[in-house]
Structure 1
């Protein structure tokens, strides 16, 4: 096997895979490697929602008063493993600091800019790689089941329309017309037309991987990086469990595992934590919904897929090593059933837990320093921002102007 490449991409999730394919298509020789399998981890188990409407930081001051109640509920939308509190504390303090008005506004504006570009990037990416059978840009719903929540949705709708995030506030009649399977307990919601979903994440990764290999790309799985070194700005050497490789550029796109990789090449201590998320897949529930439906009251999402209905959500802070608490996945079923007009069939349901990579300011790192490109920390929006991140990284690799200002996502903001 040839050991020298133009570009080496570390991380085979949807972000790394999209980057590798986009660069390989320009004629560069690209190696894509992953410590597990391509498309595993959060890219396998996410909600499948291309959520361009989510333009706010992962936490704000309005949720602080609700946190004690959520933490006291062992199966609520938020859980903190108290044994992990000490290592989490530095990140948590930075997160709270970013709830202040000035940083919050900056983050909100940056996410709005990035997600606006993300929608157009997904349209282009879908067309280029012929993904219309897997990527459905048909919108999504955020619903409410009490009047106070619906009033908040009305204010939210007006605000988003004012900043260019197109949406439509709809009442119960229109909601049930769009999604007849919903119960009359759902009194209305917001329809977001410029969003979408992936109906089969495994097939998406397989199709993109096949296109990458057909274009001349190389893939290595079960390949863990143990060291990265560079002697100049022109190349870097990777030591891995499958040998040594050199690349003119190395892209770090390892998701929640990127922090240790960054430590190999930089003195910057990136405040990156994992927000553990869960899903429950119901294979008998094909066709129940047409588009993703999120509940503002219940804080989770239901996404229709070719393999059934996926219930996903919750946030758990417990690090990368604690065992999963699959009761949190199973609890999604009683959360979902009151929202629907018929009981759900949970026969042969499968459970999953994975790691979302979240920085303390909710923004990804997309930057270029010497031979290294950084592309990680997309929190809940890895799938949403994969295509635009690939476009931005491709511009950085080829030293071309980027379509949006990447200084917003500089790694040096953490100095």
Structure 2
């Protein structure tokens, strides 16, 4: 039985480890932290298969000055990090050309389209159907002029997304607790959410171990290419025949050891848990760029994007401002849980909004599955299936071409480890 080591125990790594173990590999899953302690614990819980548009939207250029100056803006770049983040944003802007937008949208659609089927398969295998709600999701607008909402509706329809345009009365019929200042919404009927992202990950981890998977809580320090690959951790040195890097925002340091310099940024998001108010589905705001998701433990308010570096101290004002946004969208009183529960995590973000998927072009036995940005939960199960099929040699040629690591530049020789 061939051995595979999966590095990273977030939702992407957990799904990858499970599908590989289930398909006949002997899998070792490793992480410096317990399973699902990063973004997989605190995400919005929304399987956002409708989000097929790259984030590098040309309209952002007009909005950027206002976004950076507003106190409660959904986007923040810390002054101390501005210069360091400029190369990433230059690449980001470079993806705004129409031809690139079209290609990136096609690549995102290729991942999002089959994602819910993969999750339904995994939920059945892991006996986790009870953690899924298939009530759809709403994108609401507060502006009395519905032109922007109508334009978004046409855009989604043109992309093949199943969506309906709802007026104010129809929106409030769907979610009676929404405030009167909401003029309409987009109703996405083919999406879902989980009532507990962390528990979902724990179920996958338990199923992985029950299937014979092995777990090592240790930090991967170095990778030495060869046959077999040699891994050095904080607790041991061992060999593996195959390696899959699923380390989220920490993946760039590992790929650099293998000769790849990639523009991976830690795009920080926050959440605040509020007491349940009775929403039945995720509700996101077109203007405020945040989402409210009903969960078992209350209403999760999540969102925002902050560029401050991987190890910067959190700014929990970013979490508390989500409560102000929620109060503007709801007709009922909303209070934080007692004690107040706030969280932050680092999304692994690449400037073209696509993950890195597939085999390493330079080192046999190395594979990549990271960089899913805002769609880590959404794409985790299907990305894992793709990696599994790739290792088995069952993927059509070119299937993973849009997600290759060498799209960011050529290979540089691996540095020898000390």
Same fold (TM over 0.5): yes
SS at match of 1:33: strand
Deviations 1:201-232 (A, max 9, x none): 221111111100000001122x1111001223
1:401 pairs with 2:395? yes
1:251 pairs with 2:247? no
1:331 pairs with 2:328? no
TM-aligned CA deviation for residue 19 of structure 1: 0.3
TM-aligned CA deviation for residue 126 of structure 1: 2.3
| Change in CA separation of 1:29 and 1:360 when aligned onto 2, cut-off 3 Å | same
Deviations 1:281-315 (A, max 9, x none): 12x32x52100000101111000000000000111
Deviations 1:322-347 (A, max 9, x none): 10000110011111102111110224
Choose which of 242, 264, 279 in structure 1 pairs with 2:257.
264
Alignment gaps of 5+ in structure 1 = none
Residue 355 of structure 1: aligned partner: 346
- Contact kept in structure 2, 1:114 and 1:404, CA below 8 Å: no
1:172 pairs with 2:168? yes
Choose which of 8, 11, 24 in structure 2 pairs with 1:11.
8
TM-aligned CA deviation for residue 404 of structure 1: 8.2
Choose which of 379, 389, 412 in structure 2 pairs with 1:385.
379
Deviations 1:161-217 (A, max 9, x none): 233211111111221111111111112101111111110122111111110000000
SS at match of 1:331: helix
Residue 317 of structure 1: aligned partner: 307
**Greater Cα shift, 253-262 or 115-124:** 115-124
Choose which of 110, 114, 122 in structure 1 pairs with 2:107.
110
**Greater Cα shift, 332-341 or 156-165:** 156-165
Residue 229 of structure 1: aligned partner: 224
Deviations 1:55-96 (A, max 9, x none): 111231101111111111233111001111222111111111
Residue 276 of structure 1: aligned partner: 268
- Contact kept in structure 2, 1:5 and 1:31, CA below 8 Å: no
- The list of structure 1 runs, each at least 4 consecutive aligned residues, that deviate by more than 6 angstroms after superposition, is none
Q: What is the aligned residue count?
A: 405
1:296 pairs with 2:286? yes
TM-score with structure 1 setting the length: 0.94
Distance 2:279 2:188 in 1: 16
Distance 2:253 2:32 in 1: 13
Distance 1:191 1:128 in 2: 30
SS at match of 1:342: coil
| Change in CA separation of 1:404 and 1:413 when aligned onto 2, cut-off 3 Å | closer
Residue 364 of structure 1: aligned partner: 355
Distance 1:190 1:311 in 2: 19
Choose which of 203, 207, 219 in structure 1 pairs with 2:203.
207
- Contact kept in structure 1, 2:168 and 2:184, CA below 8 Å: yes
The CA RMSD over aligned residues, in Å, is 1.5
TM-aligned CA deviation for residue 123 of structure 1: 2.5
Distance 1:346 1:45 in 2: 16
**Greater Cα shift, 120-129 or 78-87:** 120-129
